[in-house]
Every structure is written in C-alpha cells, then in structure tokens.
Amino acid sequence: MRGRSARMSLLASIVALTLSGAAPAADYRQRPPEDEIIYFVLPDRFENGDPKNDKGGLKGDRLQTGYDPTAKGFFHGGDLAGLTRRLDYIQGMGTTAIWFAPIFKNKPVQGPKGDESAGYHGYWVTDFTQVDPHFGTNAEFKAFVDAAHKRGMKVYMDIIANHTADVITYKEDAAGGFRYRSLADFPYSRRGGIRGASINPGFSGDHVADPENWKKLTDPAFAYTPVVPKGEERVKVPAWLNDPIYYHNRGNSDWVGESALYGDFSGLDDLATENPRVVQGFIDIYGRWIDEFGIDGFRIDTAKHVNPEFWQAFVPAMLARAKARGIPNFHIFGEVYVDAVDPGALAWYTHAAGLPAVLDFGFARAAIDAVSGTKGTGEFARLFDGDALYKGGAGAAQELPTFLGNHDMGRFAMFVKAANPAASEAELLQRVMLGHAMLLTLRGVPTIYYGDEQGFVSDDKDQLARETMFASKVAAYNDNDLIGSAATTATANFDPAHPLYRHIATLSEIRRKTPALIRGATKVRAFAEKPGLLAVSRFDPDTGREVLLAFNTSAAPLSANIAIDMKSAGFTALHGDCPASPAAPGSLLLSLPAFGTIICQAS
C-alpha cells in the first residue's frame, strides 16, 4: 500500500506542477493537422522524473532489467513523469503537439549473446495494452495526456502493426541466419517447400480476405517451423498474438521485393497483416487507446512493410473511432523510409494504402543537401512539383510532417558538419539555423527532433543519434561538441536561452501568426543548381496575401530580383531585412547575407 500511495502522490504532484498557472487551452481539437508544430521525443532519453521505475520493476543485471545508463543501447531512465515535468520547456519553443516513440510494454532485452540491447526505443512490443513499466503506468500516461491537453497541446502516439518483439524462432537454419523463404519456393500448401507434405487444404491464398478462407490456414510451418521458447508462450498481450499462425514465419527480410512485406524486420516477428483476424485485432488494440486516453494522432512505424489492404481497413476505422470520441482532426501519418527526393514513391502510399499522410523524407533529403552545400536548392523545386502526386493534391501535402533528421537516420547537424569538416562552429550554427528556418516556414507540418534545439550533433544514426537530454553517462555521447553551446551531454540540456531554442521559438511564433505559412499554397520563385538562392511565395488561404520566403545556402552574400505577385505593392519584414516596396511592379530586389533567411509579408 505504501508503494501505491507514493505513486498516487507522484501522479498528483505531476498534474499539479504541469497545470499550475497554465492558461486555459484554446479549442485544440478544432485545429487541423497542418496547424501543428510537432516535437518528437524518445521518452527514455528525455527526462528522468521517477528513478524508482528505472529498472521497470525487474531484478537482476542489465540483461534482465534492460537498464544501463552507461550503454547507448540500454534504458537510461527517462519516463512519462519526466516528460510531464518538462511540458513548460517543450511548449516554450512554440511546439503544439508531442509525438513520442512507442510506450507499450517491450521485451526488455533481446539480441544474440554478446550483442544484446534493450527495448528503450519502444519498437519491441510484447503487450500492446499497457505502458512499459520503465516509462510508468497507464495512469501516468493519462496524467501526461490530460496535462498536455490542458495546455492546448496534442499528443501523437507511435504505433506498430508490422511486427512484435522477437519471440518466435525457427526449428531450421539457425546457423544460416534464417534467410528469407519466398512464396514461390515455400507455398502455403506445402510443409517446408514444394516437395513437402500437403498442408492447409482449401486455403486460397493470403490475397483472399474472407475469414472463412483464413480458417483453412491451420499449419504455420509452410516455410520454417515456428518455435516459441519455453516460458514465453503467453508473453504477448492480447493473447491471440501468441499463436504463430498469425505471423508470416518466412525468415529475415532482405528489404527487396516480396521480402519487404513478408520478412522479419531484423528478426522481429512479422505479423500476417493480410489475415482479417489480425486486422480486427489491431483496430481493437489501437481504438482502445483513442477511447480511453483521447489521443490526437498516430505515427505509424514501418508502414511500407505492411500490405496496403491492411491500411485501407485500419485508417478509416481509426478516423471513425476518433470522430466518435470527439476528435475530428485525428492526424495519421506513416513512416515510408525513402531517403531521396522522390515524392512519387511517398505519394503512392496515400493512394494505394489510403494513408492520409506520410513522413516527408523527401523534404529532409532536400534540406540536408541544400543546407550542407552538397547540392543546390533545385531539389526543393522538384519536391514541391511532386505535391500534386499526393491523394488530394498540393493541399494534402500540407499535412505531411516535415523534418531534418531523426532517431533512425541521424541528426541534421551531423550531416551538416560531416559535409563541412573545416567549418567553424559559428558557420555550423548558421547553417543549422537556416535549416530550421526552412523547416518552420515551408509547407508541411514542422517536426523538431528532441535535442536539436540544444545543438545535439550525433556521431551516426540509430543508437548514436539518441542522446539523453538529462545528464548522460554514455562516453560516446559526452565527447560530442554541441553546436551553439559550451555544454556537453554530460550535463542536463534544457536551456531556453540556447540560440537554436530561441531561433525555433521565434520562427514558431511567426508561423502561428501568419496563415500563409501554415496553410498557404506554394509557388517557387527562384532556385539555384549550386548553393545559393531559394525563393518561395506562399499565399494566405483566405486573403491571397503573399508572403515571400528567401534563403541563401551559400557562404557569400547575394542579391537578386525576385518575381512577386503584381498586387504586392509593399512589404513588411517578419524576419530579416525586406525592402519596403518593389523595384518595379512584379519584382522585388532582395539582399541576403550568407546562410540568411528573409520573410517578407506583402501589404
């Protein structure tokens, strides 16, 4: 009882702390997705609000508990209590929505002997119905959501339907690494290959969604013979997830063709999302989180590795569930990892899979290349030309979350620094500020990766791009030279005076007050094939008033005449130095410093 009382006291103090002095929230439910500025965070790496849950209630060493704050691949102690405590900091830079990596209960540790790591990131789920004890409880999640909503901030959950934690193994080919076994060589109708015994009589194939057809798939040993290790037979929740019949069981994906849909993602148990029982199961799972907690959106992990028909059923069900809960602007966006300016490859998923939006990897690539100086600014022209390809056209592209870097690919500052190894810290800061200016003013929903506002750099992708905001004990993090700061990750980094934090806050305020920067149509005015000018006009969706954006990605100042709307007779500077009037009707002479940004609003 003493433990329960202490936890209830902690919950009460969290709510009191976060709600005290907070102004009444505006009707945040009425804001469309494109109005938001998102802050993306890994809860384990943000703030440790309750050290008592660091080991998730488990006993033993790090291979049992998953906790080792000195190792980059293990839990460090961040939790929901810490996130709730830092809502002032998050909201202070102008962000209006929080997206965090999955918080569902994970397998604490997995991986081959000597190469184990922990589920601190949240993507190795065993129980889809409860918060991982390393992060807190369902009650603490409710407290966090309510505290955010009280401030008018939205909460987006990161969800997974492609796979669960790695529990199932295979009887065959452990020494061979469980290579992928194809539908052609290992059909559902034979055990272990085309020469094997007949199994699953009457099954018409996984393209037939009829539940009666799937009842005839009773033997999961068509490619490999799945084996559930002793002691893990009931580890997954809901209980139906423990049956191997609901998985593909074809071995590890090689990321090409068929295996991208049917293969295990680095050993993770790949769900048979063609099966109507799996479809309904996940509608029930994630619908409950909407019903009980009133969350505002989903980021869908590994969306490209799930068959499109699954999303065609899942997305409408989630939108209907949210609407019934009084959430009319539920934001759903999928992860389709395409590291190129290839809008067609992303837009395909809005048509074939029915995803309302996808993470705009094309924007990230264009920004990294332009701001790093490795390419010109013409990639942005190509990017925006591709907006017409999305279902709903350029208007739908306004809902794409845009970003500069993330927990998988690495941090934006890392790419900039790697491309400019001789650059001074002042130049690196200017370049990184330029990238954030593009992020916060060009079309799409700006998404800030936690720590970028404190100058985090990262040494590489994945684990090396997941530093802690509270004081770190990881040597590979603490030797980094942060941009715009004399601090290191060995001390807590929640400085609202950091130049990047202040820069983001300033631009966020300009964005919120300027409808053209939120929902305005885009017209590219000028671009360069080498580092240099990018000029874009955006237009107020109600009045048509023009806002001219200009960026200089080169290390030298530049001047140029920019075509503008003939009706734009005068300008006010929202950021930088703008001429008060055009040089001639339809033409504005701009001068930009190196790595400069100008935002000019027409009268």
Residues tagged active-site? 301, 335
Rounded CA separation 121/462 (Å): 10
- DSSP type of residue 245: G
Q: Note the maximum CA span of the chain.
A: 81
Q: What is the DSSP string of 442-458?
A: SSSEEEEETTGGGT---
Tokens of residue 242, six digits: 């423990």
E strand segments, 267-312: 297-300
Q: What is the DSSP string of 547-572?
A: EEEEEE-SSS-EEEEEE--TT---EE
Number of H helices, E strands in the chain: 18, 20
Task: List CB contacts of 65: < 8 A, sequence separation 6 or more.
Answer: 55, 56, 58, 59, 75, 108
Rounded CA separation 137/4 (Å): 12
Using DSSP, state whether 387 is helix, strand or coil. Answer: helix
- DSSP type of residue 229: P
Find the length of the chain.
603
| Bond before 276 cis per omega within 30 degrees | no
- DSSP type of residue 471: P
Task: List CB contacts of 270: < 8 A, sequence separation 6 or more.
Answer: 162, 163, 247, 248, 250, 253, 262, 263, 264, 305
Rounded CA separation 278/284 (Å): 10
Around Cβ 539, how many Cβ atoms within 10 Å? Answer: 19
Tokens of residue 304, six digits: 């490209």
Rounded CA separation 19/148 (Å): 9
Q: Which residue type occupies 368?
A: I
Do 106 and 125 form a contact (C-beta atoms < 8 A)? yes
Tokens of residue 553, six digits: 């990605």
H helices of 20-112, in order, are 62-65, 80-85, 87-92
Rounded CA separation 228/96 (Å): 43
Do 560 and 532 form a contact (C-beta atoms < 8 A)? no
